[in-house]
Structure 1
Amino acid sequence: MTDLAGRLGPDRVRLGVCCTLWWNDDFPTIDAGIPFGQAVSEMALAGFQGCSIGHKYPSDPAELKAALDLRGLRVSEPWTSTYFTIGKMYQKTVDSFEQTLATIKALGGDELVVAEFGASSHLLPVDVFANRPVFSNAQWDALTAGLDTLGKIANSAGMKLSYHHHMGTGVMTRDDIDRLMASTDPDLVFLLLDTGHAAFAGDDPLELARAYAHRIGHVHMKSVRPEVVSQVREQGLSFQQGVELGVFTVPGDGAIDFRPIFEVLADADYRGWLVVEAEQDPNKANPLAYAMKARAYLADVLGW
């Protein structure tokens, strides 16, 4: 047992895993043919308490909840892409968010995750660094006002909204995150700390955790392979190419030491999900093996 076992124990945090170990929702060609049932069974077998929602999951909330309940799993978060920075997408974004909220409520979840994908380069076969959007002041205003609106909707439903900074988007770097946090209501919009995306973008996830410790609402835990990060930068590769080359991996592998990050979260009395997420090619990285590697590492560091 470590000191973290008490301060980040199972009475305070829940451990989840994203289905991106088993397949990729952004890039359907990154797939080894693993079906939904096998994936969620392996999540439970590896010792996790919850999972994200993916495109292979049943669309009917009752069917999905029954399948997860059978395995002792809960939904850690659903994902909603926002498009506040591009034309004629405000109402569609709000409507999509409200649909997602209804689904997660039916599943017994209480957290929502969003990221602004207006003009994002992360899905395109282009240099992910050189072609990511840089928002104008008007776009920033539209984004932050829109996020505050979604935060109010979530709050009124008893749920928490966390923003996911992401490679290839207009909120990718530390400077972007700082501006977003400074321009949104801290009671309505929280930060999803994604260690892998921070490191890939060239920032220090530990420093990011320290800066926003008391505003972190959700955590995605993934590590990076620095040699692949350098390759993506130097060769001008796309986000998909980086994923296929193995830029991301699970905690316990790669370059990120999670213990000091957990210490920061514990000091801030963090309560919520710690979710393993490592977008890898399941044809190269056996999903169950990597899920178990991550869970063993977390057991060693957290003490449970």
Structure 2
Amino acid sequence: MSVKIGISPIAWQNDDLPDLTAAYTMEQALEEAREIGYTGVERGRRMPQETEGLRLFLERFDIALCGGWCSGNLLVSDVAMEQAAIAQQAEQFATLRAPCIVYAECSNTVQGQIGVPVNDRPKLSRDEVYAYGRKLTELAKWTAGQGVTLSYHHHMGAFIEDQEDIDWLMESSGPEVTLCFDTGHLVFGGGDIAKTMDRWGDRIHHVHFKDIRPDVVRDVRENNRSFLDAVVAGAFTVPGDGAIDFLDVAQRLRGMDYHGWIVVEAEQDPAKAPPYDYSKMGYEHILAVCATAGLTVADRD
């Protein structure tokens, strides 16, 4: 079996903190990512938004579209309204053969509010998450009909953040709702990698390899700092530079016959962690753990 290794351009171009990465361009991000060896990239806000323009932009760097963020508002919208809101992205991703839309509810998240502690994120009841899961299933069935899978991204500062939230969402939704499994957000949120992969392995469709620095995470929690403060302080980093055991993750992926994308997503301050150097470090670590785990890494199609 084989996996593909992609990257989010967020280390070079942070859409939530544009001043942090102002010295870098999207062209530089793709050129350097491809030079390192990454064969796919998730869509960034500063890429061309029109489908043909995006296709040509990616072809210029010989790199595939391996997903991309979708800010959802399903919690406060009906399904028909949300379908209309994401229709252009669904059509584009289907046309460009992206593996999924990386969907996350953003109507009530605090992740983009630098003055709000991440500890103050919204927490819904089980019944509320179950109701959301049923709506999300309808939306995911629709996106599947459009030719693209919906993968839900649990995220710090959002109402699907911790282990309980993830379990509730997966329990209440149908198989059309897949999971974008993010190691860094899971551990930051207090979740358990082994438990999540063992229970929901058949729902994992897309994987983000993100490492964490526990001392920074602890400081953010104890001092009521925001998610964006955490990013700038270095809560996240590339695989192999933090505390997460990615060999264990790779072995579990092999055990569940995973053959999708492994995407590095490691937003941090580029002045402290130069994007090229750290992205190369992460890529080499993934190659090493995949080789040890028996996962073959596919070349660019």
Task: Normalising by structure 2, report the TM-score.
Answer: 0.92
**Aligned counterparts of 1:142 and 1:28: Cα–Cα separation in 2:** 35
Large movers: runs of 4+ above 6 Å: none
5 Å-filtered alignment, 1:192-271, equals 192-271=180-259
Structure 1 counterpart SS, 2:241: coil
* Residues 194 and 219, structure 1, Cα contact 8 Å, conserved in 2: yes
**Aligned counterparts of 2:242 and 2:266: Cα–Cα separation in 1:** 11
* Residues 53 and 77, structure 1, Cα contact 8 Å, conserved in 2: yes
Unaligned stretches of 5+ in structure 2? 292-296
**Aligned counterparts of 2:152 and 2:180: Cα–Cα separation in 1:** 5
**Aligned counterparts of 2:282 and 2:50: Cα–Cα separation in 1:** 30
Structure 2 counterpart SS, 1:275: strand
* Residues 130 and 169, structure 2, Cα contact 8 Å, conserved in 1: no
User: Could you tell me how far 1:109 is from its partner in structure 2?
Assistant: 1.8
Matched with 1:178 is 167
**Aligned counterparts of 2:45 and 2:206: Cα–Cα separation in 1:** 21
- RMSD over aligned Cα atoms: 1.6
Structure 2 counterpart SS, 1:78: strand
* Residues 127 and 239, structure 1, Cα contact 8 Å, conserved in 2: yes
- Does 1 or 2 have the higher relative contact order (CA < 8 Å, sep 6+)? 1
Unaligned stretches of 5+ in structure 1? 1-6
User: Could you tell me how far 1:90 is from its partner in structure 2?
Assistant: 4.9
Structure 1 counterpart SS, 2:158: coil
User: Could you tell me how far 1:150 is from its partner in structure 2?
Assistant: 1.7
User: Could you tell me how far 1:189 is from its partner in structure 2?
Assistant: 0.5
Give the letter aligned to residue 184 of structure 2: G
Tell whether 2:107 aligns with 1:118.
yes
Tell whether 2:29 aligns with 1:39.
yes
Matched with 1:15 is 5
Tell whether 2:56 aligns with 1:100.
no
- Number of aligned pairs? 291
User: Could you tell me how far 1:128 is from its partner in structure 2?
Assistant: 0.4
Calculate percent identity across the aligned residue pairs.
36
Task: Normalising by structure 1, report the TM-score.
Answer: 0.91
**Aligned counterparts of 2:74 and 2:58: Cα–Cα separation in 1:** 33
* Residues 214 and 270, structure 1, Cα contact 8 Å, conserved in 2: no
**Aligned counterparts of 1:148 and 1:55: Cα–Cα separation in 2:** 26
User: Could you tell me how far 1:231 is from its partner in structure 2?
Assistant: 0.2
User: Could you tell me how far 1:277 is from its partner in structure 2?
Assistant: 0.5
Tell whether 2:148 aligns with 1:159.
yes
